[in-house]
A and B are shown apart, each in its own frame.
Chain A
Amino acid sequence: MKKRLRIHDLILLVMRISVYQLLFATVLSTIAFAKKSDAQEIFKQKISLDVKQQTVASILLQIEQLVDVKFIYISSLVSSSRTVNMQVKDQPLGKVLDDLLTPLKLNYQLSGRQIILNRLRGPAEGFMAVRISGIVSDDKGVPLPGVSVKLKGSTTGATTDATGSYSFNIPEYTGTLVFSYVGFNTKEVEINGKNIINVVMELSSTSLNDVVVVGYGAQKKESLTGAIASVNSTDIGSIHAGGTVSAGLAGKIAGVSFRLSDGRPGASASIQIRNMGNPLYVIDGIQQDEGQFNNIAPNDIESITVLKDASAAIYGLRAANGVVVVTTKRGKLGSRNTINVNMYRGWQNWTRFPKTTNAYEWMLGKADAEMNQYGHTAITPDEIEKWKKGTDPGYKSFDWYKFIVKKNAPLTQMNLNFSGGSDRINYYVSATHLKQYSVLGREFTFERTNIQSNVEARVSDNFKIGAQINGRIETRDQPGVPGGDDYWEARFAILRNTPIERPYANDNPAYPNDIGHNNENWALQNKKLSGYWRSDWRVLQTNLTTEYQFPLKGLTARGLFSYYYANEIMNGHEYTYDVYTFNPSDSTYKITGGSSNPYRERRNRTILSPTVQVQLNYNRVFGAHTVGATVVAERIKRRDLSSYVHSVPTTNDLPLIYFSTMDTYNDVDNTEARLGYIGRVNYNYANKYFLEVSARRDASWKFSPDKRWGTFPAISGGWRITEEKFIQSLIGHNVLSDLKLRASYGKLGDDDVGIGAYDYLSGYNYNASTVILDGKAVIGSSNKGVPVRNISWFISKTLDIGADFGILHNKVTGTVDYFNRKRTGLLGAKYDILVPSELGYSLPSENVNSDQVSGAEASLAYAVKVNDVRFNIGGNISYARAKSLHTYKPVYNNSLDHYRNSVEERYSNTFWGYEVSGQFQSQEQINNYKVNIDGSGNKTLLPGDLIYKDQNNDGIINDLDQRPIGYGTGKNPFINFGINLAVSWHGFDARADFSGGSGYSFNRNYELRNPYQNGGNLLADIYKDRWHREDPFDLNSKWIPGKYPALRFNNGGHSNYGNNSTFWLIHVHYLRARTLELGYTIPKNILSKAKIEKARFYINGYNLFSLDNMHHVGIDAEIVDDNGLTYPQSKYVNVGFELSF
């Protein structure tokens, strides 16, 4: 047998490798801390001494015993007669030696584990005579490790340690110290004879954006030439909105449209960059799917960067809709070990759900409706009275909403992470657990456990290796309910079930009631009766990186191997159950129905995706010229295997699937392959003029072999006007601190052009059908059809013109952008050549159509500190709307066809319907009305019914009278905005984030439009504000006007309800409070006794209120389903704490 490396082995191998990597790195770091094998570590060791009147020699001897070092010196250096006092507690060795030896004019030097003492020489040759030290902290008093401290004009300097302290020798106590740290304003302090200089650094208003992650690298913000925006860990970390990353991005980034249309536990939002379509996600350098993006633990994210324009072109064939780049956290070299604990617990309640009527209202409305429709009703006023009273047996109202929706569904998230680093190794290791319950009972849950382990090690001075491992287990667990979506029936039930139906026969919880449509009987929708459904995703992504610094300065090579493994196991079992009818005459419960449809399913899906990247970077500064170049080769494979099994089990009790009861087995195995070669060159002159040129040559397996390759070039440039002398003299740095104009243009690709992977092949699709021939099941194969070999990339060209500016010492910063993306070569049919339908196939589509998305966005941030109060205010707004440009030689049969169906130069997503010009006020008006509204001579109309505008004046309302009356429904808003506020004062901090949207429509339909849809419940709003007669039982009584037309029972075909019109369409606008948070950080001086670095407590609300125009309908502004039955978003109230040790 030939031994081959199978994929399983490979996974194991990769896992093993990564585990070893991790072990190796951990061991290394442990050793490093244990042995303190290098100079810095040795001098950092803390010792305590308490000696009086002892000789220096004997003190040195004691130190030798405390620390594993050996002092070597000529005995004459240390006078045996000189005694000193020394009292130090937990001081670094370096400091102790300084204190001890400096007065003796002795210098020391480490060699291996030996410390050699020498006589201090004169201050020549850079000799450092005096020592300066201090502590650097931020404005909250939190020490900042890793701050670079330098003596201005020299190379002398140090970096702060984990306690924020630094010390180094300088020639004399004069000059200036320069403190610099990423994310903080650089600070210069005159020494002025002091030997201790403590510094408080201020956050720079450009915040942590100083370095921005871009495609295959990172750039300083000031040198960016593309439309690139990012959010950082603080922003992401303070959102407690449930499971997914996308759900927290509302209003955070200009140009990102957002809609969270379904709010169930673990739900994610639809986010699009500039409404261009689904973006590409890149996580730690690896192209990934949306699911992986959404389910990273938010705590582990360092930054999310959005490439909105041609800067995305570097990602080539999937980047046409923009790219979201995620970087996870890393430990910092030379920082102390920090343990962080973050935990919060929250309570969720639905924002809104349509309100329904009680039994009395329901019956009265039904009588009303029947009188309106038929002129008679079987319902009597007596009955109505009994329902109103609601006490007689059989006349009690039931509130299904209360029965189904439980208040305050809990969610909890815990995160524990360790980070730190020596000068060789840094690490970030984190574990997060989230459990989220649903308001639908407590059996609908979402649970996720994430681990993230990022370790980097500098193996030698010019060679670095690293491993980023992230893994998760993601579980959706819920009762198994008939129908595709287990969450559906519960919501449907609230509107489908009437208040005169009851869940239990005779209200006895042992007997679920037969209500005729028992799928909606919530009494059954639980794991005990209905069954279960559970999906577990287990995911492991391992990236192994190496980086080599060539001897040629500025040239590095980078290699990356990534293996993504994801596995889903889904198990579902729907049980059989009985429902009962109570017979009051003999008080028995009779089984009158139920489900006898046992349904057992299992899916096992595995995704295997290796990525290999080899990269060369060159970065070098020659005087005022900065040159950078990047070359990358990348290969990505993705294999998606799944099998699905269905059986009809004979009992509810046996969960295993047996061959004899199995009736479906589906097996799928698809592989995608993409590869690309990338080149990019940057140039900047004096940080003033910037130019970047990039190109990527990509290929996708999807196209026919001769159509596979595409080249995606991009160019961008920037000009920092404020660096020009004349501008500085004209305006002055204080007013306009920074202004950069930039423009970019590029060609991007998308292999998702609307064809299947193997459309270029001819042949037969196996397993197209199952056919029973001669009693045997024969698998059928269908002709694939004529191969499509002419399709290739469509061309997406993006132009962006923008400016970044800072005003008043960068206290106010902002960005504006205009963009336009045109796509040509979209798939479309060539209609000018009409081939007979008898040909048997239609001509394949070709790359002939075009469209565009254009718009603008702006963001502004203002940071100010007044006394002890710090304010940060930011806002952004964006507009992005799609439009179809040209189709191939469109043909119209007539002018109406042209008007109605042309898409030439028209905005996409328009909604067509009738214009309602009013409502009939009286029967007389109906009788005299000339236009046939309902298609039956207005015989079905009543006062209050809708009057449609007869647009073409032909006396009848039909399709010809439809006009564009709204925007797209179910789409992301084309106007998006966000407002972020933060205030802090001493230990207190507060923040408020708002986001909003506009430019989309909601079409009320079905349950939200038709009274008694399916014979179910009636919307309270429609009941309360309807046209009705004063006495419902008297056809001659007076009409009382209302907002809604007079009721009809389940008559969706009526002209009021069967037509889309302006009456039922809502142009949605909303502004919604996202995060509202109040936090308190316990002062450091209290904490230090407990050895706690930081402790912060907070209370946090999410989605607490929304200002919008959907209130009266009782639905959330972001839902999509036109029947209002979407699982709405929840309001969250969370309390939590963060601790650092």
Chain B
Amino acid sequence: MRKHILIISSLLIFILACNKDSDFLNTAPKDILTDDAVWKSEDLTLSVLADLYNRYPEQQTITNWAEYTNFDEAFPSEAGNYWRTKQVDYPYDWWNLWDYGYFRDLNLFVKKCRAAEQLSADVRNRFVSEARFLRAALYFEEVKRMGGVPLILEPMEYNFSGDPAYLQHARAKESDIYDFVIAEMDTIKAILPDDAGIKSRATKGVALAMQARAALYAASIAKYGASTPTVSLAGGEVGISADKSTAYYTKALAAAQEIISSGKYSLYKKKTDDLQDNFASLFYDKSNNPEVIFAQDFKLKSGKVEDWTLNNQPWSSAEEQQGGRVNPSLNLAQLYEKLDNTYSPFVTNAGSDYVYYNNPLDIFAGRDARLGGTIILPGTKFKGVPLDIWAGVMYWKGGQYNIITGDNFGDQDSIPVAGAPKSSQVVGADGPVDGLQFSAQTGFYVRKFMDQTVGSGQIGTRSEVWWVRYRYAEVLLNAAEAAFELGQNDVAATYINQVRERAGFTIPLTTVTFDRIVHERRVELAFEGHELFDNKRWRLAHKIWNGETISAADLVTNIGKADKVNTMIYGLWPYKVYNPGNANDGKWVYKIVKPSNVTAAHRFKLGNYYSQIGSDILSNNPKLIKNPNQ
């Protein structure tokens, strides 16, 4: 027995003694890569770079739909977001961005990748250039929102000395940041692949596109900033002197023309027999799309999918019990011109009577193809299911029209007219029902970026439609704007007409005006994240969102004017006429309606032009100065 004890105790002692305490405590992590491992492997370096791509900064995108409903493009048809149309003032700290953590990771990447001798020079250079592209994109986004920010291009490290003064950097001039972005693109465009087939990583094409956009922004801030002299800081952290505008416009035009003349990109025209469809498919057709320059890509069954279609699918074809969140506004819809290049509101009344349409779609006939390409209109189909958008039944009784409607999708009720069926549908299966979330409360659903594929509206599947960040049409419009501002009106017309021709216009514009430039961008680039920043750089934002209430009558006047007040969202609701025996029975009439949840007129104050720098950021660095008018 004693032997056994000896064996067992020695065994136990052995178990304890066989590895040291420190060995026992060291459990290797299984999902952490060390620096050593990363910088010798192309794949792992790409993995780090990929995550940097993933943090690309943006404001409105298809993956945060609610941001589209802050202004005048769309109404938020989700109960939790009605506050957006009830809020008068934009908070000063909206859209602020101070992402120096991202800068640090980008700077670290640039530094470490440059030193990664074990990677081949080509690979290394491309990676470094991509990181520089992303870093420039972040500075561009910073300057758009904040004005000049400290320009830091090396990763900093605090030495715990107790004196952090050496880490404090003052804000650069707004123009310095634009100059940096422009210069960086000049450097890296030669290194990045010149391949229009690459859409999801940096290429020469997107470097030039970003350069053109950045230069255009800087130019217009220089030019139009003169109209808002208080939106500036003495040190140039905010505001660019007007004399710089020409140089920037010239740079913008040159960069845009470099893309145009390369011939590597062109407007998407695969479906010329249906221009609406053509315009819509430009955004979801990922095979050999000649127009898309740079996009955030998604892929089914990879874990990287987006939910724009899930969030915005029309109720009647919805694959879940949700959708319809972004409801494009009548304000936007009526901007789409008639094909004779004229502006016109949708015709709802003829004198005191309604105008009766045989088909709900008829009221939209003869317009810019981009209307139907951007917005799902009543009377069209989505995923093969006809839209059922109508607000109620107008029945004739007692010498006047009365309205009966329901409070849920496709509600049934009995029309209180003798001889009417006991029960019939009194509201569209897609709405609009005022205040009912997911219903088309403006009478419209959004079409841009919507995915036709079965399953794209399912939570478990979602969509792989990409988010287009740069495309050729914008390059043309950038070129047009720069040329226009440089006085080259013909050149501007050439470029703008290419875009309009694709939208179905047959009569080219001969002269280009500022209103035209603004208008064309609004209709072409709706729901692509340009709205806020364009209106800021043109210093239009405080004019069009001036806090003044607008009436339905205000809405339909001055269409196409760049500074038209646009503070409240309106909708256009179809009604079905019930008047048996009358010629108009079964026809459609329209009313301009302001959804009840639109209660505030948006007000963009001068202090909103540059977002507020957080008080913690200011107190952490005494060299920073506040933005103006806040």
Q: Residues on A close to B: CB < 8 A? A: 459-460, 463, 482, 516-519, 546, 548, 557, 559, 561, 581, 583-585, 592-593, 595-599, 612, 614, 633, 635, 637, 646, 648, 661-664, 669-675, 699-701, 705, 708, 757-758, 761-784, 786, 833-841, 843, 893, 1014, 1050, 1053
Q: How far is the CA of A777 from the CA of B621 in the complex (A)?
A: 40
Chain B neighbourhood of A778, CB < 8 A: 46-47, 50
In contact, A518 and B321 (Cβ under 8 angstroms): yes
Q: How far is the CA of A661 from the CA of B33 in the complex (A)?
A: 30
In contact, B460 and A517 (Cβ under 8 angstroms): no
Chain A neighbourhood of B25, CB < 8 A: 673-675, 699-701, 705, 708
A662-B301, A778-B46 are known contacts. Are A584 and B422 too (CB-CB below 8 A)?
Answer: yes
A769-B51, A836-B167 are known contacts. Are A584 and B320 too (CB-CB below 8 A)?
Answer: no
* Given A763-B35, A771-B53, 12 more pairs with CB closer than 8 A: A482-B459, A592-B429, A599-B460, A633-B16, A646-B460, A701-B26, A764-B38, A766-B33, A773-B53, A786-B157, A836-B164, A836-B168
7 of the cross-chain contacts (CB-CB < 8 Å) are A595-B320, A633-B16, A674-B25, A701-B27, A779-B47, A837-B616, A839-B156
B400-457 at interface with A (beta carbon < 8 Å):
408-410, 412, 421-424, 429, 455, 457
User: Is B120 part of the binding interface, using a Cβ–Cβ cutoff of 8 Å?
Assistant: no
In contact, A612 and B32 (Cβ under 8 angstroms): no
In contact, B29 and A757 (Cβ under 8 angstroms): yes
Chain B neighbourhood of A836, CB < 8 A: 150, 164, 167-169, 620-621
User: Is B350 part of the binding interface, using a Cβ–Cβ cutoff of 8 Å?
Assistant: no
Q: How far is the CA of A757 from the CA of B30 in the complex (A)?
A: 12
User: Is B617 part of the binding interface, using a Cβ–Cβ cutoff of 8 Å?
Assistant: yes
6 tightest A-B CB contacts, nearest first: A840-B104, A780-B51, A777-B302, A772-B297, A836-B621, A771-B50
B119 to chain A, nearest CB (A): 15
Q: How far is the CA of A708 from the CA of B321 in the complex (A)?
A: 52
Chain A neighbourhood of B12, CB < 8 A: 559, 561, 612, 614
Neighbour of A838 across the interface among B167, B408, B429, CB < 8 A? B167
User: Is B15 part of the binding interface, using a Cβ–Cβ cutoff of 8 Å?
Assistant: yes
A1049 and chain B: residue at smallest CB distance: B435
In contact, A768 and B51 (Cβ under 8 angstroms): yes
A585-B423, A592-B429 are known contacts. Are A762 and B35 too (CB-CB below 8 A)?
Answer: yes
Render B73-91 as a binary contact track against A, CB cut-off 8 A, 1 for contact.
0000001000100000000
B621 and chain A: residue at smallest CB distance: A836
A665 and chain B: residue at smallest CB distance: B303
A557-B9, A836-B620 are known contacts. Are A583 and B412 too (CB-CB below 8 A)?
Answer: yes
A460-B1, A769-B54 are known contacts. Are A763 and B33 too (CB-CB below 8 A)?
Answer: yes
Interface-forming stretch among B95-103, B224-232, B274-282?
B95-103
In contact, B8 and A780 (Cβ under 8 angstroms): no
Chain B neighbourhood of A763, CB < 8 A: 32-35, 38
B572-608 at interface with A (beta carbon < 8 Å):
none
In contact, A770 and B304 (Cβ under 8 angstroms): yes
Chain B neighbourhood of A612, CB < 8 A: 12, 15-16
Q: How far is the CA of A518 from the CA of B615 in the complex (A)?
A: 46
Chain A neighbourhood of B617, CB < 8 A: 837
Max count, chain B CB within 10 A of own CB: residue among A700, A763, A1053: A763
Render B291-312 as a binary contact track against A, CB cut-off 8 A, 1 for contact.
0000001111111110000000
In contact, A769 and B408 (Cβ under 8 angstroms): no
Chain A neighbourhood of B100, CB < 8 A: 837-840
Chain A neighbourhood of B301, CB < 8 A: 661-663
A373 to chain B, nearest CB (A): 10
Chain B neighbourhood of A593, CB < 8 A: 318, 321
Chain A neighbourhood of B167, CB < 8 A: 835-836, 838-839
Q: Residues on B close to A: CB < 8 A? A: 1, 4-5, 8-9, 12-13, 15-16, 21-22, 24-27, 29-35, 38, 44, 46-48, 50-51, 53-54, 79, 83, 98, 100-105, 107-108, 150, 152, 155-158, 162, 164, 167-169, 198, 200-201, 297-305, 318-321, 408-410, 412, 421-424, 429, 455, 457-461, 614-617, 619-621
In contact, A772 and B101 (Cβ under 8 angstroms): no
Q: How far is the CA of A614 from the CA of B48 in the complex (A)?
A: 46
Q: How far is the CA of A767 from the CA of B164 in the complex (A)?
A: 34
In contact, B34 and A775 (Cβ under 8 angstroms): no
Q: How far is the CA of A969 from the CA of B24 in the complex (A)?
A: 42
A675-B25, A764-B38, A783-B108 are known contacts. Are A774 and B200 too (CB-CB below 8 A)?
Answer: yes
In contact, A584 and B53 (Cβ under 8 angstroms): no
A592-B429, A777-B299, A781-B47 are known contacts. Are A581 and B410 too (CB-CB below 8 A)?
Answer: yes
Chain A neighbourhood of B157, CB < 8 A: 786
In contact, B620 and A837 (Cβ under 8 angstroms): yes
Q: How far is the CA of A648 from the CA of B301 in the complex (A)?
A: 9
In contact, A774 and B31 (Cβ under 8 angstroms): no
Chain B neighbourhood of A771, CB < 8 A: 50-51, 53-54, 304
Max count, chain B CB within 10 A of own CB: residue among A463, A592, A779, A1050: A779
In contact, B32 and A834 (Cβ under 8 angstroms): no
Neighbour of B321 across the interface among A519, A598, A669, CB < 8 A? A519
Max count, chain A CB within 10 A of own CB: residue among B27, B169, B458, B614: B27
Chain A neighbourhood of B429, CB < 8 A: 592
Chain B neighbourhood of A671, CB < 8 A: 27
In contact, B21 and A699 (Cβ under 8 angstroms): yes
Q: How far is the CA of A541 from the CA of B491 in the complex (A)?
A: 81
A517 and chain B: residue at smallest CB distance: B321
B168 and chain A: residue at smallest CB distance: A836
B169 and chain A: residue at smallest CB distance: A838
Max count, chain B CB within 10 A of own CB: residue among A769, A843, A1050: A769
Q: How far is the CA of A841 from the CA of B12 in the complex (A)?
A: 47
Q: How far is the CA of A664 from the CA of B30 in the complex (A)?
A: 19
Max count, chain A CB within 10 A of own CB: residue among B12, B13, B422, B424: B12
In contact, A516 and B5 (Cβ under 8 angstroms): no
In contact, B302 and A772 (Cβ under 8 angstroms): yes
Chain B neighbourhood of A700, CB < 8 A: 25
Max count, chain A CB within 10 A of own CB: residue among B25, B29, B429: B25
Neighbour of B297 across the interface among A669, A699, A775, CB < 8 A? A775
Q: How far is the CA of A943 from the CA of B298 in the complex (A)?
A: 55
B19 and chain A: residue at smallest CB distance: A635
Q: How far is the CA of A784 from the CA of B51 in the complex (A)?
A: 12
B555 to chain A, nearest CB (A): 23
B164 and chain A: residue at smallest CB distance: A835
Q: How far is the CA of A546 from the CA of B15 in the complex (A)?
A: 15
Neighbour of B458 across the interface among A597, A762, A786, CB < 8 A? A597
In contact, B304 and A772 (Cβ under 8 angstroms): yes
Chain B neighbourhood of A548, CB < 8 A: 5, 9
Q: How far is the CA of A935 from the CA of B620 in the complex (A)?
A: 34
Chain B neighbourhood of A758, CB < 8 A: 29, 32
Chain A neighbourhood of B408, CB < 8 A: 516
In contact, A773 and B51 (Cβ under 8 angstroms): no
B27 and chain A: residue at smallest CB distance: A671
Chain A neighbourhood of B615, CB < 8 A: 893
In contact, A663 and B300 (Cβ under 8 angstroms): yes
Neighbour of B303 across the interface among A675, A761, A770, CB < 8 A? A770
In contact, A597 and B422 (Cβ under 8 angstroms): no
Q: How far is the CA of A133 from the CA of B83 in the complex (A)?
A: 89
Chain A neighbourhood of B53, CB < 8 A: 771, 773, 780
In contact, B164 and A834 (Cβ under 8 angstroms): yes
Chain B neighbourhood of A675, CB < 8 A: 21, 24-25
Neighbour of A584 across the interface among B318, B423, B621, CB < 8 A? B423
In contact, A780 and B21 (Cβ under 8 angstroms): no
A782 and chain B: residue at smallest CB distance: B51
In contact, A840 and B38 (Cβ under 8 angstroms): no
Chain B neighbourhood of A460, CB < 8 A: 1
Chain A neighbourhood of B13, CB < 8 A: 614
A433 to chain B, nearest CB (A): 36
Chain A neighbourhood of B422, CB < 8 A: 584-585
B29 and chain A: residue at smallest CB distance: A758
Max count, chain B CB within 10 A of own CB: residue among A519, A705, A766: A766
Q: How far is the CA of A838 from the CA of B615 in the complex (A)?
A: 14
